[in-house]
Chains A and B, each alone.
Chain A
Amino acid sequence: MPTDNLIERLGSEVRAVPRGLAARRLILGAGAGVVVAAVLMPLWIGVRPDLAQAVGTAAFWIKLAYTLGIAAATFWLLERLARPGARTLNQVIVGLAPPVAVLVLAAAELAGAEAAERPHLIMGASSHLCPWRIVALALPVLIGALWALRGLAPTRPTLTGAVAGLCAGGAGAFVYAFHCDERAMPFLALWYSGGIVISGVIGAVAGRRLLRW
């Protein structure tokens, strides 16, 4: 078809487009995934039985703040990556804040602990399960985010997929934190982050293949 005819045809089917499409679509996709994860988690591994006492501890809230911080910052970055030519520097800087803060907390706790206690602060009792369960809970969020991104216009598919994976990892870890009874900051810094990073790698691989347009 000649280009002029194509333009005529595209121009004749114009409808008003709602504002903030990228944010809306991502909230819809990723949000649906979070709902799925939040419903599955109690059925699958259960909410921690001591939740009523845990809400009185700092560790419980730090875990929620860390995971929510990562999910929120990477979501903000994702919304930019979904729009061609949008600047992303501020979002990247904000995204670095949660991991840096948790690393500082973990280092402080390790430095203040007896040498004999340190292995337990790092390994906890559930390090062999934690990252994989986070990845599993992240998957529905990642699927929802990738669905949303396929209708948007990410010009860096692999990077966008990776950030979608990190965001899903953050959300999955947030849900997981209602099950997990680990209290140590080094555990959080290593195993929660590990699950989130694995989710990011899965997102990168998926994005490379699925986010072409």
Chain B
Amino acid sequence: MAPLGDLEPRLKDLMLAGLAGDNAAHTKLLRELAAALRRYYARRLGGGAADVEDLVQDTLIAVHTRRGTYQSDMPFTAWAYAIAHYKLVDLYRRQGRRPTVPLESAGALFAPDDHEAWTAAGDLDHVLATLEPKAAAVIRHTHIEGLSTKETAALTGQSESAVKVGVHRGLKKLIARFGGRSDHADR
């Protein structure tokens, strides 16, 4: 959500310039919004390209034709997010799905794409959960958090050699379980 800090004043300036009749500022704003909307809707709709692009265009037209409802007394990002969220709920309603989309902060529309990192972290948790908690903990410390064997030993109250053995055996188990080629075939 960090980028919202400098994004807000920049986009607000573009919007106010556009409201005053500045073509270039308005076009630039719509371009930036298109990119943010594409990411936002792709995350929510699971990347169905045609759906996402239709919704992006529908939302851009709404932003354009209803831009008079923006006033400088409020953050631009909150206004844009409310429209993006409304258009998503409206799509769900038209598709006959229950329109339950949690209302988030405006940052959700302008968040960088963290989808892949998020699922990878989820997968890793699943994989580690198949090990004994002790072995999972030492692998997490040494191979994910980047601690040394010594630091891990101090943290878990084991000897350094016990940590080394634990990591080695744990990784071996994981390789046996998830590394084999035969395993991939039936997944």
Contact = CB atoms under 8 A, between A and B. Distances in A.
Given A7-B34, A16-B20, A155-B83, A83 B69 contact: yes
Interface in A1-26: 1, 3, 6-8, 10-12, 14-22
Interface in A130-158: 152-153, 155
A18 B68 contact: yes
A153 B69 contact: yes
Interface in B89-128: 90, 106
Nearest to A18: B68
A120 interface: no
A87 interface: yes
Interface string B1-44: 00000000000000000111111101100110010000000000
Query: What does DSSP make chain B's interface, helix, strand, loop or mixed?
Result: helix
A7 B60 contact: yes
User: Do most interface residues of chain A lie in helix, strand or loop, or is the interface mixed?
Assistant: loop
A85 B30 contact: no
Contacts of A212: 90
A161 B96 CA distance: 22
Contacts of A87: 74
B150 interface: no
Chain B interface residue number, banded: 35 or more
B129 interface: no
B26 A3 contact: no
A10 B61 contact: yes
B25 to A, nearest CB: 9
Interface in B138-167: none
B79 A84 contact: yes
Interface string A20-45: 11100000000000000000000000
Contacts of B62: 153, 213
A16 to B, nearest CB: 4
Given A18-B68, A21-B68, A155-B83, A11 B23 contact: yes
Given A3-B56, A6-B60, A7-B30, A84 B22 contact: no
Interface of A: 1, 3, 6-8, 10-12, 14-22, 82-87, 152-153, 155, 212-213
Interface of B: 18-24, 26-27, 30-31, 34, 53, 56-57, 60-62, 64, 66-71, 74-75, 78-83, 85-86, 90, 106
